[in-house]
Amino acid sequence: MPAQHARIQSIEEYEEAYRRSTENPEQFWADIAEPFSWRRKWDTILESDMVEGHNKWFKGAKLNITENCLDRHLATRGNKLALIWEPNDPKTRQIRYTYRELHQEVCKFANVLQNNGVEKGDRVCIYMPMIPQLAIAVLACARVGAVHSVIFAGFSANAISDRVNDAQASVVLTSDGLNRGDKQIPVKRVVDDALHHCPSVRRVIVTEHLGWPVNMVEGRDVWLHEELEEVEKTSPAEEMDAEDLLFILYTSGSTGKPKGVVHTQAGYMVWADYTFRNVFQVNENDVYWCTADIGWVTGHTYLLYGPLLSGATTLMFEGIPTYPSAGRFWEVIDKHSVSVFYTAPTAIRSLMATPLDNVLSYSLDSLRVLGSVGEPINEEAWHWYYTHVGKERCPVVDTWWQTETGGIMISALAGITPSKPARAGLPLPGVQPVLLSQEGKEIEGNDEEGYLAIKYPWPGIIRTTYGDHERCRQTYFAPYPGYYFTGDGARRDEEGLYRIIGRVDDVINVSGHRFGTAEIENAINQNSHVVESAVVGYPHDVKGQGIYAYVICREKISKEEAIYVEASIIETVVAEIGKIARPDKIQLVTGLPKTRSGKIMRRILRKVAEGDTSNLGDTTTLLDPNVVDEIIEGKK
């Protein structure tokens, strides 16, 4: 008989779990899934086709994930804090919800959704700031069986309409505005712009947050607080099939527009809970804080679903690490006695660049475990985090995973498996990573490098890309049939620990946010001055990678004009994608290094952007080698 939601507690237990997960994966996952609250148990544990990319977990089971996040805890944890909300401005009021209170808020919001015609299977887009209503909205969608598609509230109107149209969403949830440090942003206005091009949307539900007057479209827009006045406090959860869609989350790849990664009910639930519990080793009295925005997958799995499934107390922060001072993270940790803290290397690097007193003046006594996610953490940042934040007593878990994997794949289990600077570590039970050569041969042994792929499905594996399974197959399964291809390169060190090197495709990672270079080029090319562009990443002290754009303009641009043209290009990118995709450097050029067949040699552009022009490799296949000299001369 498996223990109730047991947790791995020693290296021996890890080894034993890992062995069982590879020898008999189905029995392993059946045991892990057992203690959840099921309306009906599964008929089969796994049906998998890793060539076509079809994976079904717990088929035939019926459940609702919110019954597992909320109802299941009411008897034993009803009065325990489920969600603590810390506002942008520390002088304003924090909000706390017990499990019982959160349950009630979710039920009420679920009733609002149903009163507004939302039905099981409908897509609901959520474009909201980091306020409690965002968390409640996501859970309310899951409760009524609607598929949520959260759009990070920094994306532009164009990016919203692309996502709303791709998902054919009928309802959008938003707010009047948002706070970001000392700035306030009129969120509803951005949504209004977006929805001019979205005929599928018939209802917009607006949360009042800043108290700003907003334009309400008659017959389409309603205020959440008015809708809440009329609803019941309970709401029976919709019964969902294991493989019904839970959410869509758009993410960038190396080609085309961002694609809607789809996760489903049961597998995602089991994976989110299992990985959360084991990686962070959260205890009943811990206060856990993940700084990610719910607009990204980290916010989905490790701010919301993972912690609530495990019955933990999760903290949600509206603000930014540097407002009102660069000590804000540390102040919040002391204020709420945070014991498990999960953030991104880019945040650590930006805080490292400020005076050390900003962190040393806080006690940080409550901390027990530190986590890192989103991009490789460089050794310097790792040591700073370990020494000054964790005071050399908190294990650092460097968690490698992706939107497509649903949850953490390779990471130390805090205090249990080895944690070393710049190493994600060992795979979690259920994860079978391999290093592949370019030809797709498995590279055996340690101290080796290759393309990182996963050879066996895990419960959180991507199910499809919304509305276009062929794209999913092409991207993740076709490159090496039989494997899930991650797009990352990795090294297995002497001890078998994995070190993630970075993307091997045309995806760049800027402050932990993923962009396809083609996606940014497409945006730049919308500018009326521009004929063609090529975007590459380059090492950036704080962001990890910066965006370097080489741009060819229609007309000859003088030095004086260049300032305006560059500003106009930036404006275009902000309008097309959002501020987060703003190029760090723009270099106007008259030509790009192309081969005779017209292919841009990005390798050369990357080298120049990195400032390493000593060895550009073979340039003899270039159509016009002189272009390279011009580019080197004009480097920013």
Site residues (CB under 6 A) for ligand PRX?
251, 297-298, 373-376, 398-403, 424, 486-488, 500, 502-503, 509, 514
Minimum distance between the CB of residue 250 and ligand PRX, rounded to whole angstroms? 10
Q: Is the separation of the CB atoms in 275 and 290 below 8 Å?
A: no
Minimum distance between the CB of residue 10 and ligand PRX, rounded to whole angstroms? 24
Minimum distance between the CB of residue 424 and ligand PRX, rounded to whole angstroms? 5
Q: Give the distance from CA 614 to its chain's centroid.
A: 37
- Angle, helices 265-280/25-33, rounded to nearest 10 degrees: 80
Q: Please, which residue, 346 or 509, has the CB nearer to ligand PRX? A: 509
Q: Please, which residue, 35 or 502, has the CB nearer to ligand PRX? A: 502
Q: Is the separation of the CB atoms in 172 and 204 below 8 Å?
A: yes
Distance set, CA 455 to CA 390, 442, 476 (Å):
35, 10, 12
Interstrand relation of 464-465 and 484-492 (parallel, antiparallel or unpaired): unpaired
Q: Is the separation of the CB atoms in 280 and 289 below 8 Å?
A: no
- CA–CA distance, 20 with 2 (Å, rounded to integer): 13
Q: Please, which residue, 28 or 274, has the CB nearer to ligand PRX? A: 274
Q: Please, which residue, 60 or 502, has the CB nearer to ligand PRX? A: 502
- CA–CA distance, 533 with 522 (Å, rounded to integer): 8
- CA–CA distance, 534 with 608 (Å, rounded to integer): 13
Minimum distance between the CB of residue 244 and ligand PRX, rounded to whole angstroms? 23
Q: Please, which residue, 336 or 513, has the CB nearer to ligand PRX? A: 513
Q: Please, which residue, 327 or 374, has the CB nearer to ligand PRX? A: 374
Minimum distance between the CB of residue 185 and ligand PRX, rounded to whole angstroms? 22
Q: Please, which residue, 388 or 503, has the CB nearer to ligand PRX? A: 503
Minimum distance between the CB of residue 475 and ligand PRX, rounded to whole angstroms? 12
Non-local (6+) Cβ contacts of 42 within 8 A are: 30, 33, 58, 59, 60, 61, 242, 266
Give the type of residue at 149. S
Q: Please, which residue, 399 or 527, has the CB nearer to ligand PRX? A: 399
Q: How many Cβ atoms from other residues are within 10 Å of residue 303's Cβ?
A: 28
Convert 456-481 to b/e letters by CB count within 10 Å (16 or more is b): bbbbbbbbbbbeeeebbbebbbebbe
Minimum distance between the CB of residue 256 and ligand PRX, rounded to whole angstroms? 16
Minimum distance between the CB of residue 73 and ligand PRX, rounded to whole angstroms? 26
Q: Extract the tokens encoding 216.
A: 């309400």
